[in-house]
A and B are shown apart, each in its own frame.
Chain A
């Protein structure tokens, strides 16, 4: 990215005068050094500390400095029946979100773009962005009420339409959790997700639409061949990011919707890798084991990111 443009610049500095150059610009260095020290402490020390996944960490140890045990924690992890369930939940929730919540903002952006009234369009945008700005604690508060078994709006609507006889206890049965996770995420991020696409749409050359009009293209043909084609690079870029985050199944959302994993009715369907790390690590004090589960997730995520990027490279839309 930008660092590449820097590399392309001719190198002015010569290595020999390095130290004197450094001292000459010591004030500039002092602007950077606090940030770099912060990064080393809060980003790189935990990265080193992840070695505790190959060790037997005990309270009082510094992460990464305990006794080595090799792949023992991973052997436990892969033979733990709970982990199979955790992996299933993570993959199902993430894939459902990928299939439904990834295309939804694209479609919504296309529909917004087709609206004729300028003020109506702006109002819809402003309102649909709102849930993005609240925390998942607030969103969960609203969703508990919206989906409440006791006069909740969704239950009242379904009852009055005669679709159900009794209110559904949405947070009382595990089988409802996957759709709830997908739909509440959609509720919160649908509007906000359109922004990048709308920006990409606005940079499409209007002459393309005029030319298509001349050729007698219909509205859907223009949407598909001009608008969608125009935002294709954006879609691919965001897809790479989404795939690279596939195993991060929105920790905040799942924690708050399950009452910080205290709702035992939901745990069979709601426990994902991140919440599992929290549960076994901080609640059951199996520190190294939890770190191993976390490391497993990071490794898979990076592999997915690189894989997605490689696929995208074929369409000349690679991230790096």
Chain B
């Protein structure tokens, strides 16, 4: 290696400093939220909580988990993620598998039909009224059905399936297997990298989705976690109601105003942590597969 010049060294130092600033600015809001969620609500109001709790408590989490609303919302989030991922993956993979076959009748027509939707869409108003006419308002299936296929994901899978040697399929076909058998018994098992990647794309999208619940669902019992968090940050009264209904008689009258105020911030942060914790837990895994997906996409493009 050549010896480094002074200019090089200065550049390296500045570069490392820039990286540290990015890391701090990225992480600080998360760590601060975690610290507030684990800090005594009464103490938080004094201010100055940074990245560690000053008076450690799990009380904020107890408060939100005493609320049946939170359990229900969590159940809805898990249900939409699991059901949505399985069904969406199945339909997307089948379409991709079919379109990967050069001998598919009408392949060009189907492909063009798919590609057009990547550049044009009807927009909010016609979609909204379509959902209404289909009777999907205030219906759990509004989380699943309208988002079943993403053409982008389908294209990634199709590219992958096209790379599988045809001989593998042909030998099974000669033995008399139909395309469904080949797909489920041979193609899916050897395509785990792309299946896992697309499953994670869909699952994260489902977990984070909030707008469908916001415009199509008014029933509280059908709202997912994102909606609960959205209500908490939009209406302070919502957070108070969660805190108070749980706190019950434990709050003395003189404290009500102050405690309610304090609780809003603590409850918000605890709810936020509960909302993202599954994502953070699987994050290292998630990250690897997401990057893989992007790579397959960029190789194609």
**Which residues of A does B touch, CB under 8 Å?**
1-3, 6-7, 9, 12-13, 18, 21-22, 25, 27-32, 34-36, 38-50, 52, 57, 61-64, 108, 111-112, 114-116, 120, 123-124, 126-131, 133-138, 140-146, 150-151, 153, 187, 190-191, 195-196, 199-200, 213, 218-219, 234, 237, 251-252, 255-256, 259-260, 262, 274, 277-278, 281-282, 287-288, 290-291, 294-295, 297-298, 302, 305
Contact = CB atoms under 8 A, between A and B. Distances in A.
A287 B284 CA distance: 44
A113 to B, nearest CB: 10
Nearest to A49: B126
Interface in B203-239: 204, 207-211, 214-215, 226, 229-230, 233-234
Contacts of A130: 26-27, 30, 283
Contact of B294 (A137, A196, A305): A196
A200 to B, nearest CB: 8
Interface string B100-117: 011111111011111101
Contacts of B50: 153
Contacts of B189: none
A140 B158 CA distance: 36
A190 B25 CA distance: 12
A127 B107 contact: no
A115 B103 contact: no
B64 to A, nearest CB: 14
B98 A31 contact: yes
B241 interface: no
B234 A260 contact: yes
Nearest to B214: A260
A128 B25 CA distance: 9
B159 A2 contact: yes
B214 to A, nearest CB: 7
A187 B24 CA distance: 11
A187 B33 contact: no
14 contacts: A27-B179, A32-B95, A36-B110, A39-B113, A46-B122, A61-B129, A111-B18, A123-B23, A128-B22, A134-B279, A138-B229, A287-B129, A294-B124, A298-B121
Nearest to A23: B105
A36 B113 contact: yes
A32 B104 contact: yes
B301 A237 contact: yes
B283 A133 contact: yes
Contacts of B56: none
B40 to A, nearest CB: 15
B27 to A, nearest CB: 6
Nearest to B226: A137
Nearest to A112: B19
B143 interface: no
A236 to B, nearest CB: 12
Interface string B110-146: 1111110101111111111110010000000000011
A259 B283 contact: no
Interface of B: 2, 7-8, 11-12, 15-16, 18-19, 22-23, 25-30, 32-33, 36, 47-50, 91-92, 94-95, 97-99, 101-108, 110-115, 117, 119-130, 133, 145-146, 148-149, 151, 154-155, 158-159, 162, 178-180, 183, 204, 207-211, 214-215, 226, 229-230, 233-234, 265, 268-269, 272, 275-276, 279, 283-284, 286-287, 290-291, 294-295, 298, 300-301
Contact of B229 (A133, A141, A262): A141
Contacts of A22: 105-106
Nearest to A42: B146
Contacts of A21: 105
A50 B122 contact: yes
A4 B2 CA distance: 48
A135 B94 CA distance: 29
Contacts of A146: 28-29, 32
Contacts of A259: 233-234
Contact of B268 (A28, A141, A282, A302): A141
B290 to A, nearest CB: 8
Nearest to A3: B111
Contact of A31 (B2, B97, B265): B97
Contact of A34 (B18, B22, B91, B99): B91
B272 A141 contact: yes
A63 B126 contact: yes
A145 B269 contact: yes
Contact of A135 (B2, B104, B209): B209
Contacts of A277: 123-125
Contacts of A135: 207-210, 226
A142 B215 CA distance: 23
A140 B18 contact: no
A90 to B, nearest CB: 15
Contact of A35 (B92, B105, B269): B92
B105 A25 contact: yes
Nearest to B107: A6
B120 to A, nearest CB: 6
B22 A196 contact: no
A1 B126 contact: no
A12 to B, nearest CB: 7
Contacts of A120: 16, 19
A131 B276 CA distance: 11
Contacts of B276: 134, 138
Contacts of B269: 141, 145
Contacts of A237: 301
A145 B28 CA distance: 11
A226 B274 CA distance: 46
A219 B301 contact: no
B237 to A, nearest CB: 13
